[in-house]
A and B are shown apart, each in its own frame.
Chain A
Amino acid sequence: MTQKIRLATCSLAGCFGCHMSFLDIDEALISVADIVEFDRSPITDIKHVTNCDIGLIEGGICNSDNIEVLKEFREQCKILVAVGACAITGGVPALRNHFELKECLEEVYLKGKGVVNPQIPSDEELPLLTEKVYPIHEVVKIDYSLPGCPPPADAFMELITAIKQNREPKLEYALRHFD
């Protein structure tokens, strides 16, 4: 691969912690910039992903917009990677799977402490919430997973380096922890 790798990233039902960990490669960012060109990402503020080598997905699926974005990434990225516990397992947002969606909405918008003018939001601009929060591999095919909350910066480096070198990424013991 002589050209720069085109890379896109996004956070679905996530906290951006995985993105922060990616940035945590510190000065290696300079060498990454030599081999990587960023497409859609919070780093570039490009709104739609187009024709990429790697798509990094942080967070699980909690609403209709997440599904739309995820499918767009799958269509546009040769290699799609689930990044972090929420993308892989649903994570903290999936704790709401123990309750009915209606119960969650009522708790937050009707019964919650300090709620003024209680009403459940129903503006058509707002994405509809899914009944449950799903890991992304239950919606589209995923090629690799980087476990961790967040995955260590070195795991991102290994992934990018391996793909650049046309080999399978190999996560050493310290890079495949679930917390």
Chain B
Amino acid sequence: MPQKISPRKIKIDQQDIPFSEGQSIMEAAEQAGVYIPHLCHKAGYKAHGSCRLCTVKASGRWVSACTEPAEVGLQVENNSSELQSQRRAIVQLLFAEGNHHCPFCEKSGNCQLQAVAYSLDMHDAHFAHQFPHRTLDASHPEVLLDRDRCIQCELCVRASKEHDKKNVFALSGRGPHTQLIVNSESGKLKDSEIEKDDEAIKVCPTGALMNRSKPFSVPIGQRQFDNIPIDQQSTGKSGNNEAQP
């Protein structure tokens, strides 16, 4: 009679979470329907570990859940007031260092950055707004690149390379001068290989990259995050960053 092998488990906030070899804390959590706030992570893509929103305490150490491998017996603290408060500060910094004009943004209501802010009970940006000068690329008839809204998560960079096989985007520059650049001779979207149905556009968690065809097509009240918080609808199982119609 074969010996029964007990499943490998970690504990997240005292809850047993099974995992398979090679999975990160984030992947194990998503599989079990446990929400860990994140922006640069997306199921199916290589972990980036840059937004730090998924920082958890794993057996007393601060680690990003999307890059830290799950290991048997790991005790993970996720939904604590300390971590939530630090995550709120990260999101506030993202709002303060970009130009996020929610009241007239086409992505409002379907925006993950905004949804995470709602979920973390953020009411204001707290820090001094930087109002950076960033350029808009409206050269393409079907795709818009608004760098004001870019949080430099590199999801579009990864999607364009790994999914679309096009390599349209990259990050260039350092520190506050970092910006998303377009791989074309003119540096404009219109001369790149981008197409409106590319995954690189769909994965954008904010309104930085958008399909221009149907702005404001979903009425207020029916948008993805109007009524149900992201922590109650995004376990990552669907792996869908796009707004639901």
Residues of A within 8 A of B (CB): 82, 85, 88-92, 94-95, 97-98, 132, 134-135, 137-138, 142, 144-147, 149, 171, 173-174, 176-179
- What is the CA–CA distance of A90 and B128 in the complex, to the nearest angstrom? 11
Residue B102 at the chain A interface, CB threshold 8 Å: yes
Closest chain B residue to A148, Cβ basis: B103
User: Could you tell me if A179 and B118 are in contact, using CB atoms closer than 8 angstroms?
Assistant: no
Closest chain B residue to A149, Cβ basis: B103
Give every chain B residue within 8 A of A145 (Cβ-Cβ): 123-124
Give every chain A residue within 8 A of B114 (Cβ-Cβ): 178
Looking at A88, A97, A135, A177, the one whose CB has the most chain B CB atoms below 10 A away is: A177
Give every chain A residue within 8 A of B121 (Cβ-Cβ): 171, 176
**Apart from A89-B101, A132-B131, A179-B109, 12 more pairs, CB < 8 Å:** A82-B124, A88-B124, A98-B99, A146-B123, A171-B123, A173-B118, A176-B118, A176-B122, A177-B118, A178-B114, A179-B108, A179-B220
Q: With A132-B131, A174-B227, A176-B118 as given contacts, are A88 and B125 in contact (CB-CB < 8 Å)?
A: yes
Closest chain B residue to A151, Cβ basis: B123
User: Could you tell me if A92 and B118 are in contact, using CB atoms closer than 8 angstroms?
Assistant: no
User: Could you tell me if B131 and A97 are in contact, using CB atoms closer than 8 angstroms?
Assistant: yes
**Interface bin, chain B:** 20 to 34
Residue B129 at the chain A interface, CB threshold 8 Å: yes
Q: Which 5 pairs between the two chains have the least Cβ-Cβ distance?
A: A149-B103, A178-B102, A145-B124, A97-B131, A145-B123
Residue B212 at the chain A interface, CB threshold 8 Å: no
Give every chain A residue within 8 A of B8 (Cβ-Cβ): none
Give every chain B residue within 8 A of A173 (Cβ-Cβ): 118, 227, 229
Residue B117 at the chain A interface, CB threshold 8 Å: yes
- What is the CA–CA distance of A91 and B99 in the complex, to the nearest angstrom? 10
User: Could you tell me if A89 and B129 are in contact, using CB atoms closer than 8 angstroms?
Assistant: yes
Looking at B121, B123, B220, the one whose CB has the most chain A CB atoms below 10 A away is: B123
- Which residues, 93 to 116 on B, are CB-close (under 8 Å) to A? 95, 99-105, 108-109, 114
The residue from A90, A98, A174, A179 contacting B129, defined by CB atoms under 8 A apart = A90
Give every chain B residue within 8 A of A176 (Cβ-Cβ): 118, 121-123
Residue B126 at the chain A interface, CB threshold 8 Å: yes
User: Could you tell me if B103 and A135 are in contact, using CB atoms closer than 8 angstroms?
Assistant: no
Residue B165 at the chain A interface, CB threshold 8 Å: no
User: Could you tell me if A178 and B117 are in contact, using CB atoms closer than 8 angstroms?
Assistant: yes
Task: State the Cβ distance, B155 to closest chain A Cβ, in Å.
Answer: 22
Give every chain B residue within 8 A of A82 (Cβ-Cβ): 124
Looking at A85, A144, A179, the one whose CB has the most chain B CB atoms below 10 A away is: A179
User: Could you tell me if A149 and B227 are in contact, using CB atoms closer than 8 angstroms?
Assistant: no
Give every chain B residue within 8 A of A132 (Cβ-Cβ): 131
- Which residues, 196 to 245 on B, are CB-close (under 8 Å) to A? 220, 226-227, 229
Give every chain B residue within 8 A of A92 (Cβ-Cβ): 101, 103-104
- What is the CA–CA distance of A82 and B99 in the complex, to the nearest angstrom? 19
Closest chain A residue to B131, Cβ basis: A97
Give every chain A residue within 8 A of B117 (Cβ-Cβ): 178
- What is the CA–CA distance of A132 and B102 in the complex, to the nearest angstrom? 19
- What is the CA–CA distance of A52 and B61 in the complex, to the nearest angstrom? 47
Give every chain B residue within 8 A of A90 (Cβ-Cβ): 129, 131
Closest chain B residue to A133, Cβ basis: B131
User: Could you tell me if A149 and B102 are in contact, using CB atoms closer than 8 angstroms?
Assistant: yes
Encoded as 1 (CB less than 8 Å from any A CB) or 0, chain B from 121 to 154 comes to 1111110110101000000000000000000000
User: Could you tell me if A85 and B126 are in contact, using CB atoms closer than 8 angstroms?
Assistant: no
- What is the CA–CA distance of A137 and B128 in the complex, to the nearest angstrom? 8
Task: State the Cβ distance, B114 to closest chain A Cβ, in Å.
Answer: 6
Give every chain A residue within 8 A of B108 (Cβ-Cβ): 178-179
Task: State the Cβ distance, B89 to closest chain A Cβ, in Å.
Answer: 15
Closest chain A residue to B225, Cβ basis: A177
User: Could you tell me if A135 and B118 are in contact, using CB atoms closer than 8 angstroms?
Assistant: no
Closest chain B residue to A150, Cβ basis: B103
- What is the CA–CA distance of A147 and B125 in the complex, to the nearest angstrom? 10
Task: State the Cβ distance, B176 to closest chain A Cβ, in Å.
Answer: 16
